[in-house]
Amino acid sequence: MAPTVLATAAAVAATHPNAIYSGSLLSLIILILDLIAIVQLLNSERSVMNKLLWCLLIFLCPIVGVVLY
């Protein structure tokens, strides 16, 4: 079963070279924005519970968390 999956992935990559990595740039941008938001949050003067809740929101819902923060 695994060789079939690899053959299919190779066939897709051969026809569309960017098909496998199409979302990697967007994911990298979101990751960088999340890290910046978390570092700024941890350096802020908020209470520990407030920091924890914001970090959980950013971690569980990265796009929504950064936009809301």
**pLDDT score for 24:** 81
H/E element, 58: helix 48-60
More confident residue, 1 or 17: 17
pTM, to two decimals: 0.63
Contact call for residues 66 and 57 (beta carbons, < 8 A): no
Model confidence pLDDT, tens digit, residues 15-51: 655 555 567 888 889 999 999 999 999 999 999 999 9
Report the distance separating Cα 57 and Cα 34, nearest Å: 10
Q: Is the pLDDT of residue 12 over 70?
A: no
